[in-house]
Each structure stands twice: as structure tokens, then as C-alpha cells.
Amino acid sequence: MIDILCKEGEVRAAKELFHKMKARGCTPDLVTYNSMIDGHGKCGELEEATALLEEMKINGYMPDLITYNSLINCFCKFGMLGRAFGYLNEMRRSDLKPNIVTYSTFIDAFCKEGMMQEANKFFVDLRIRGLRPNEVTYTSLIDGNFKARNLQEALVLLCEMEVDHIELNSVTYTVLVDGLCRNGKLMESEEVFQTMMKLEISMTQLPYTSLIHAHFKEGKISEAVALLDEMHNCGLKPNCVIYTTLMNAKLKTGNLSEALSLLNKMQESGITPTVVTYGALVDGLCKQGSVHEAFYHFNQMKDVGLQPNVLAYTALIDGLCKRECLEEAAKLFEEMVGNGISPDKVAYTSLMHGYLKRGKLEEAFILRIKW
């Protein structure tokens, strides 16, 4: 029961059962300790996990490979590689040989930290020791090399994976789509994506997100929006970053109605716009001369409890100054400073030019001194 609860992430319930068990005089066995250590570790309760390790030793149970792999996985997951190495050394002192799970865990952690040299050393070492890499090992290395812009190394690993007759899983395909997009290979990425569709591989947000960003970077906005619609049709919810990116693109090309349509679609999907979303919207509207519309969304941002950022304030100050609404611009400038937001060069310059245009030399001079 404890093992099932821990695997389901119900660590609190498992902990209660564990304490009841001990209170009734029942000594936990090795399997129970391993389950609890793994459960605590995955929840980030690392000190509780290590305390259980010591308790386990006191009760006469020697940690096995499962114990050490759980601890190594937990500390690697939270970026504490030094502690993870400590358990690797302890494992070896106990005459326990690291297995493919141990090696794959370290390789994945190294790749996530951008430590590709160390990851490659572990990959070579596991082969020397007669271990066979699995899909997790290869996928981690391929992903790490893509993110390090080592395109050729990533593709060589993909070939090795196929030579070793290791099937690509959904995570590997996702990594390929994302990695190819990151390295400017949009056409190849789309081919992998189409393969995923043909094989009816379970889709997550990431392949769509990667392709949407890649299309956006190449200026293919209509294709990006089409992918957004496809996501909706597949029952996947795009995140706030995707909507904000596409809204920005629409605003930059002057498509205000389409940008606002994306905002509505975003809110209808149950996604709450962030400060970044509103900031981009206000900035885009002001640049298109729609200052009144920008003010509406600026106030809406405040109404939902969000503090406008420097981009939103600056955009409105600049927009108001261009319309010669100097008093309103100055009021916003004071509000901005009062809220602890440091004005940028554009905010100062816009307001100063506004003062000079009105012949308010003293105000312009004071502002120039501050700047």
C-alpha cells in the first residue's frame, strides 16, 4: 500500500501509514524504506529522504541499488550533483555496480546543466562497462546536444540509436521536433512532426509550441496561427507564451483586430494574460496609434491585480506625448516612479521632448538632470 501511495504521489498519506505501522511495533522492510525514500525525494523532501536512509541503516537494512538510484535521481533532479556523486561513491564502496538507470540519471542531469563533456564521458564509460544505452540515455544526450547547438552530434546519436534497434518513443520524437526547430531546421522538424501524426504518437504541447515559435521566427505567422488552431482541435491548450508571441506578431504587422481576437481566444480558453501579455498588447496598440484602446487594456491589467511593467508605462507615455496629451503623460510618469518602476530612456526622452515642444524649459531641464 505504501509503495502504491508513493508512486501515485500521495506521500502525505504514505507517511501517515508509515508512522502508524511503526507505532504498532511493525518494523518497515527494505522495500518499504525504498518506497518512502523515493516518494520523499520526488516531492523535493530531500532531507526526509536522507533521514530515512540513516534510519534504515540503524534498523539493519543495507541500501541496495534501488535505494541509491532513488537518492541519486532525486538529488540530480534538483540540481544537487555534488550530493548525487556522494551517493554514487557510497554505492561503489558498498560493492554495488551502477546500472543503466544510474548512468542515464547522471547523463540526463549533466545534459540539463549543459555539461556535455561530462555527459559524454559517462556515455563512453557505460559502454566500456558493458551496459547498453536505452531510450532514456539516448534521448537525454540528443536533447542536450541540440540545446548546445551540436546538431551533428545529435544526429549521429540518433543514427546510433537506430543501429542499436532502440525504438524512438514519444519523448524522443518531441525532442527531435524541438531540437531541429532550435537549430533552424524547420522543414526537417515538420517532417518529424508529420511522422508523429502518421504513427499516431501521443502529442503534448511541446512539439506544437516548438513549431509555432519556429514559424514565428521565420515570419510565417499564418502557419503559426494554423498550428495554434490545430492544437485547440486536438484538445491541447496553448500556453500564455504562445499567445503572447503570436499577438506580438499580429500587432507588429498592424493586424489589431486579429491580435485582439487572439486575446479573446486566450481568455476563452481559461488562460489568464500575464503582465508580459498586457505589456506587449499596450505597446503594440500604442505603436499603431490606438492609445485609447491601449489605456483600456492598461486599466484592465490593474483591475485584475497586475502591476503594469516598464514596457506598458513607457508605451503609453510615448503615445500620449505624441498626441500632445502632456499632462496625462506626466501623471503616468509620476505613477510609474511612485510604483517603484525605474523609467527607461524612451519614457524620459518622450516626456522631455513633450515639455520642450510646449516651451516648458524648466520641467524639461529638471527631467534632464534626473536622467
pLDDT one-digit tens code per residue, 216-234: 889 898 899 899 889 888 8
The pLDDT of residue 212 is above 70: yes
Please name the residues in contact with 24: beta carbons below 8 A apart, sequence gap of 6 or more. none
Please name the residues in contact with 88: beta carbons below 8 A apart, sequence gap of 6 or more. 68, 72, 98, 102, 106
- Of the three residues 97, 121, 143, the one that is the final residue of a domain is 97
- Of the three residues 42, 74, 97, the one that is the final residue of a domain is 97
- Of the three residues 64, 97, 130, the one that is the final residue of a domain is 97
The pLDDT of residue 324 is above 70: yes
Using pLDDT thresholds of 50, 70 and 90, give the confidence band for residue 149: very high
For 65-112, the pLDDT digits (tens) are: 999 999 999 999 999 999 999 999 999 999 999 999 999 999 999 999
Q: Are 278 and 312 in contact (CB under 8 A)?
A: yes
Which of 329, 318, 313 has its CA nearest to residue 275? 313
Quote the pLDDT of residue 33: 80
pLDDT, mean of residues 168-185: 96
pLDDT, mean of residues 177-189: 96
Please name the residues in contact with 231: beta carbons below 8 A apart, sequence gap of 6 or more. 205, 208, 237, 238
| Residue 23 domain flag | yes
CATH classification at residue 361: 1.25.40.10
Q: Are 64 and 29 in contact (CB under 8 A)?
A: no
| Residue 66 domain flag | yes
Cβ neighbourhood burial of 223 (10 Å; 0-12, 13-18, 19+) = middle
pTM, two decimal places: 0.78
More confident residue, 249 or 8: 249
User: 130 to each of 116, 198, 213, 251, how far by Cα in Å?
Assistant: 21, 36, 41, 57
- Which domain does 356 fall in, by range? 282-371
Q: Give the burial string for 49-71 (b: 16+ CB within 10 Å, else e).
A: bbebbeebeeeebebebbbbbbb
Residue carrying C-alpha cell 508529420: 194
Quote the pLDDT of residue 242: 87
Which of 226, 265, 262 has its CA nearest to residue 245? 262
- The number of distinct structural domains making up the chain is 2
Quote the pLDDT of residue 45: 81
Quote the pLDDT of residue 344: 86
